[in-house]
Amino acid sequence: MKLPILIHPDPRLKKNCAPVPDLSDSLRTLADNMLETMYDAPGIGLAAPQIGQLTRLFVLDCVKEEGEAARPLIMFNPEIVASSDETNVYEEGCLSIPEQYAEVTRPKVVDARWIDRDGNEQTETFDGLWATCFQHELDHLNGKLFIDHIGAMRRQMITRRMQKLKREQARA
């Protein structure tokens, strides 16, 4: 089932999300629906607060190569265990900030830990786009958006555009 995605500015995108105490079928269904919503958008990551659930959960799949197998990942209670001093710059976007992009600098490599769909702890070292996406989604769980990493002028300009978009959507 596809879920509606919240558009910035929205107070729910500013909240610190609560850890998942125990996996349940309803949380698994939520995660499956988030993957469907993400692929449909299309996007490479989607965090629970973006669909109004203030829970530490996100999904991602950064496979971009045509013909390469999809790699849908569901992450409950994700954390960064270590991150590199070396940084990377990516032009980031966000499904909650449609059609707006900005360069963001983040650590190039992160050692990540999370609980998977089956309740098992997973660890993996992510590099490049996967590392950026993981950090972008983790930010969402802490009430932070990619525009919080850029200058205030640019951020305000993007926020005004989104306010205008939401007014137009409300009228439609």
Q: Would you say 11 or 67 has its CB closer to Ni ion?
A: 11
Name the nearest CA neighbour of 76 among 31, 33, 43. Answer: 31
If residue 41 lies in a helix (H) or strand (E), which one and from where to where?
Answer: none
172 C-beta neighbours (distance < 10 Å), count: 5
| Residue 13 touches Ni ion, criterion: CB under 5 A | no
Stretch that binds Ni ion, among 9-17, 64-72, 89-97, 158-166 (CB under 5 A): 89-97
Q: Would you say 57 or 94 has its CB closer to Ni ion?
A: 94
Stretch that binds Ni ion, among 66-74, 92-100, 103-111, 149-157 (CB under 5 A): 92-100
Burial 52-63 (b: 16+ CB within 10 A, else e): ebebbbbbbbbe
- Minimum CB–partner distance for residue 46 and Ni ion (Å): 7
Stretch that binds Ni ion, among 20-28, 33-41, 93-101, 151-159 (CB under 5 A): 93-101
- Minimum CB–partner distance for residue 68 and Ni ion (Å): 23
- Minimum CB–partner distance for residue 25 and Ni ion (Å): 26
| Residue 147 touches Ni ion, criterion: CB under 5 A | no
Q: Would you say 34 or 94 has its CB closer to Ni ion?
A: 94
- DSSP characters over 45-96: EEEGGGGT--BSEEEE----STTSPP--EEEEEEEEEEE-SSEEEEEEEETT
| Residue 94 touches Ni ion, criterion: CB under 5 A | yes
Amino acid identity for residue 17 in this structure: C
- Minimum CB–partner distance for residue 127 and Ni ion (Å): 20
Name the nearest CA neighbour of 51 among 2, 5, 98. Answer: 5
The set of catalytic residues is 137
Residue where the block lists tokens 């660890």: 123
Query: By the 8 A CB rule, do 89 and 108 touch?
Result: no
Q: Would you say 27 or 94 has its CB closer to Ni ion?
A: 94
Question: Where on the chain is the footprint of Ni ion (CB under 5 A)?
Answer: 94
